Amino acid sequence: MTLESNVPSGPLAHKWSKYKQEQKLVNPANKRKFEVLIVGSGLAGASAAATLAELGYNVKCFCFQDSPRRAHSIAAQGGINAAKNYRNDGDSIYRLFYDTIKGGDFRAREGNVHRLAEVSVNIIDQCVAQGVPFAREYGGLLDNRSFGGAQVSRTFYARGQTGQQLLLGAYQALSRQIGLGTVKMYPRTEMLDLVLINGEAKGIVVRDLITGAISSHGGDAVVLATGGYGNVFYLSTNAQGCNVTATYRAYKKGAYFANPCYTQIHPTCIPVSGDHQSKLTLMSESLRNDGRVWVPKTAGDTRLPQDIPEGDRDYYLERKYPSYGNLAPRDIASRAAKEACDNGLGVGPGGRGVYLDFSDAIKRLGEDKIRERYGNLFEMYERITGENAYQRPMRIYPAVHYTMGGLWVDYNLMSNIPGLFVLGEANFSDHGANRLGASALMQGLADGYFVLPYTIANHFASTKQHKPSTDAAEFKEAEQEVEARIKKLLSINGKRTVNDFHRELGKLVWDKCGMARNDAGLKEALARIPALREEFWENVNVLGDAEALNPALERAGRVADFMEFAELLCLDALHRKESCGGHFREEYQTEDGEAQRNDEEFSYVAAWGYSGVGNAPVLNKEPLVYEEVHMTQRSYK
């Protein structure tokens, strides 16, 4: 089946205005009659919930943390892009659009990305009006920094806590609506199933994480803004609770999962220190503005970094990519670090690390300036490693960070299931095969503040609506399934913990479907995952009650979904016989080791349809049509 993207016709730059001119509206008095269920309170979910409520819709919003303010968006450090061109350095909407398409290795949908670049400017205005304390210059105007994959300075930031400040802005807007009674918030509530009535998304089944009660909510539309699935790898920079459950259960109900193999490995994270580790910590990409990446030129050089003279160091990013240097895009910088370590040049325990060195910047700007820019990151580094990065270079290594894949959506951000909208990291839409730094925050807020409010109105106004009763058989069935699954998990009483299974799955997926992938490795993973899943369902040990707060049970449900999802991830990676962005297949590389795309055969979105556990999913294709952009071999040299 070929999928319809529903991108409006006409010149690229006019598509979104045209859409807005032609869309159908819902009159203010009628908006009250529509109930929207929003799962997720991160940048995407909170901004959508607040905005839809402001417009007059009835909104219910769900999150699994104890407060919407704790969604994983809070952890974003570096910044948010916008095509403001405040620096007068040649930026424009077109350039942000083009950088994003090129950064995504020509695997994103043109129309969506252009719209993203267009609304980026409104996001900054909105956030400033909310009181987000962005960094400023002495003249009082907004400051910018540079991020990877761009030659202009278009990243807005609030110290090293940009995600926190943007999320608090959205959280405050959401709180205002909760206070006004237009949004009903359900914290510590986990969505465990999507309910379809006559093929349309009309509700969800949730578990109250404190009492364990299972209940249903019906609505006119369901919005998933549940974040990314990076934790399938066990170790990642994501928060502990990040999961695939909401999107995967929607997939099992018929929503297509697009490009799951596009996962992003971030080049600058603190290296793994031991088996005990529960997560990896990102050191923001913004550090590459002032830090220089290098390894010793000869393997086995055991001298302290400060004792290695310039001539014995290889600043490999500057050498290989002179025009972008240390600001090469993430996929490229990560692979280059892996290559250096594979060649035995890595530093630190296990030889899995490279230096990120600030000594030149400190000499040039002084330690105070560096402290002002990145003080909190240096402190975090010291707390975790016990080392002072003002005195010796940081050691960094790539780690799983972001997932470009997600549920398939059309231009309306609606999945193939009518009434199911997907926003933020949970959808697949804007980043192609590789996301540029500072673009996830932009996309989450674009989706929630400026896109969904238009497209959902168009949906409501152009389809006949009926709100279901949660007494309907579809709800009861879904509730029973959810309950049975929980009962099953608690009754196995096996010998291994959930964590133990998760760690094994993660290691397998990281080894075979991580920074570099190949046919044999992927086939091996595909053979081993079903066996591990079988063992999980026979030998996992989950204690405690269903009718109480039970963190182990929550985790078990999420890991059970990862056990199925991992297979889809590897299958997609196996089928895509090309390298693009974060998906690097060793068989497909250029002579100098860069990703070799195959536009003839793979210039499409792979949107997978579910057909039962262990059965091969069905591949649906959305051809990628570039009307304005000319596809080229990506070069950052």
Partner 1 sequence: MSETTMNLTLRVWRQKNAQSAGTFVEYEAKNISVDMSFLEMLDVVNEELTARGEDPIAFDHDCREGICGMCSLTINGKAHGPLEATTTCQLHMRSFKNGDAITVEPWRAKPFPVIKDLVTDRSAFDRIIQVGGFVSVSTGGAPDGNALPIPKTDADAAMDAAQCIGCGACVAACKNASAMLFVAAKVGHLGLLPQGQTERDRRVLHMVAQMDEEGFGNCTNIGSCSAVCPKEIGQDFISRLNRDFLKASLRAK
Ligand X SMILES: Cc1cc2nc3c(=O)[nH]c(=O)nc-3n(C[C@H](O)[C@H](O)[C@H](O)COP(=O)(O)OP(=O)(O)OC[C@H]3O[C@@H](n4cnc5c(N)ncnc54)[C@H](O)[C@@H]3O)c2cc1C
Binding site for ligand X (CB under 6 A): 39-45, 62-65, 71-73, 75-80, 162-163, 190-191, 225-228, 237-238, 243, 245-246, 282, 401-402, 424-426, 438-441, 444
Is 459 in contact with 412 (CB distance < 8 Å)?
Answer: yes
Instruction: List the x/- string, 231-260, binding to partner 1 by CB under 8 A.
Output: --------xxx-------------------
Is residue 551 near partner 1 by the rule CB under 8 A? yes
Pick 128 or 532: Cβ nearer partner 1: 128
Partner in contact with 47, chosen from partner 1, ligand X, none, beta carbon below 5 to 8 Å by kind: partner 1
Partner in contact with 444, chosen from ligand X, partner 1, none, beta carbon below 5 to 8 Å by kind: ligand X
3-state secondary structure of 39: strand
Which of 3-11, 103-111, 136-144, 360-368 is the region at the interface with partner 1 (rule: CB under 8 A)?
136-144
Among 23, 92, 153, 281, binds partner 1 (CB under 8 A): 281
Among 140, 300, 311, 612, binds partner 1 (CB under 8 A): 140
| 40 backbone φψ class: left, alpha, beta (φ>0; ψ -120 to 50) | left
Residue 464 CB, nearest approach to ligand X (Å): 29
Instruction: List the x/- string, 510-529, binding to partner 1 by CB under 8 A.
Output: --------------------
Residue 554 CB, nearest approach to partner 1 (Å): 11
Residue 590 CB, nearest approach to ligand X (Å): 29
Pick 549 or 619: Cβ nearer ligand X: 549
Taking the C-alpha atoms of residue 291 and residue 241, their distance in angstroms, rounded to an integer, is: 31
Q: Catalytic annotation on 330? A: yes
Pick 241 or 305: Cβ nearer ligand X: 241
Is 473 in contact with 198 (CB distance < 8 Å)?
Answer: no
Is residue 51 near partner 1 by the rule CB under 8 A? yes
Among 3, 33, 92, 135, binds partner 1 (CB under 8 A): 135
Partner in contact with 548, chosen from partner 1, ligand X, none, beta carbon below 5 to 8 Å by kind: partner 1
Q: How many residues bind partner 1 (CB under 8 A)?
A: 80
Is residue 172 near partner 1 by the rule CB under 8 A? yes
Burial 599-609 (b: 16+ CB within 10 A, else e): beebbbbbbbb
SS3 content of the chain, % helix, strand, coil (to 5): 40, 15, 40
Pick 561 or 594: Cβ nearer ligand X: 561
Which of 120-128, 400-408, 480-488, 568-576 is the region at the interface with partner 1 (rule: CB under 8 A)?
120-128
Burial 28-45 (b: 16+ CB within 10 A, else e): eeebeebbbbbbbbbbbb
Q: Residue 231 half-sphere exposure, CB side, CA atoms within 13 Å?
A: 22
Pick 120 or 579: Cβ nearer ligand X: 120
Torsion of CA 330, 335, 340, 341, to 10 degrees: 100
Among 18, 20, 32, 136, binds partner 1 (CB under 8 A): 136
Q: Which two tokens mark 389?
A: 């990065």
Residues contacting residue 364 through CB under 8 Å, at least 6 positions apart: none
3-state secondary structure of 190: strand
Taking the C-alpha atoms of residue 447 and residue 44, their distance in angstroms, rounded to an integer, is: 6
**Catalytic position from the list 95, 145, 288, 330:** 330
Partner in contact with 129, chosen from partner 1, ligand X, none, beta carbon below 5 to 8 Å by kind: partner 1
Residue 444 CB, nearest approach to ligand X (Å): 4
Is residue 129 near partner 1 by the rule CB under 8 A? yes
Q: Which two tokens mark 5?
A: 């993207």
Residue 283 CB, nearest approach to ligand X (Å): 9
> What's the order of all strands across the beta sheet hosting 200-208?
189-197, 200-208, 214-218
Is residue 47 near partner 1 by the rule CB under 8 A? yes
Residue 390 CB, nearest approach to partner 1 (Å): 17
Is residue 176 near partner 1 by the rule CB under 8 A? yes
Residue 243 CB, nearest approach to ligand X (Å): 5
Is residue 139 near partner 1 by the rule CB under 8 A? yes
Instruction: List the x/- string, 374-393, binding to partner 1 by CB under 8 A.
Output: -----xx--xx-x-------
3-state secondary structure of 470: coil
Among 278, 302, 462, 491, binds partner 1 (CB under 8 A): 278
Pick 126 or 226: Cβ nearer ligand X: 226
Residue 300 CB, nearest approach to partner 1 (Å): 24
**Between β-strands 221-224 and 35-39, what pairing exists: parallel, antiparallel or unpaired?**
parallel
Pick 282 or 490: Cβ nearer ligand X: 282
Compute the chain's Rg from CA coordinates: 24
Partner in contact with 63, chosen from ligand X, partner 1, none, beta carbon below 5 to 8 Å by kind: ligand X
> Could you write out the DSSP letters of every residue in 92-112?
-HHHHHHHHHHHTTT-S-HHH
Pick 424 or 514: Cβ nearer ligand X: 424
| 614 backbone φψ class: left, alpha, beta (φ>0; ψ -120 to 50) | left
Determine the longest span between alpha carbons in the chain, in angstroms.
74
Is residue 125 near partner 1 by the rule CB under 8 A? yes
Q: Which two tokens mark 636?
A: 């950052």
**What φ, ψ does residue 407 adopt, rounded to 5°?**
-65, 140
Partner in contact with 488, chosen from ligand X, partner 1, none, beta carbon below 5 to 8 Å by kind: none
Is 266 in contact with 399 (CB distance < 8 Å)?
Answer: yes
Is residue 134 near partner 1 by the rule CB under 8 A? yes
Partner in contact with 449, chosen from partner 1, ligand X, none, beta carbon below 5 to 8 Å by kind: partner 1
Partner in contact with 122, chosen from partner 1, ligand X, none, beta carbon below 5 to 8 Å by kind: partner 1
SS3 string, 554-585, reads HHHHHHHHHHHHHHHHHHHHHHCCCCECCECE
> Could you write out the DSSP letters of every residue in 330-371?
HHHHHHHHHHHHHTT---SGGG--EEEE-HHHHHHH-HHHHH
Residue 591: burial class (beta carbons within 10 Å; 0-12, 13-18, 19+): exposed
Which of 5-13, 20-28, 156-164, 479-487 is the region at the interface with partner 1 (rule: CB under 8 A)?
156-164
Task: Provide the annotated active-site residues.
Answer: 330
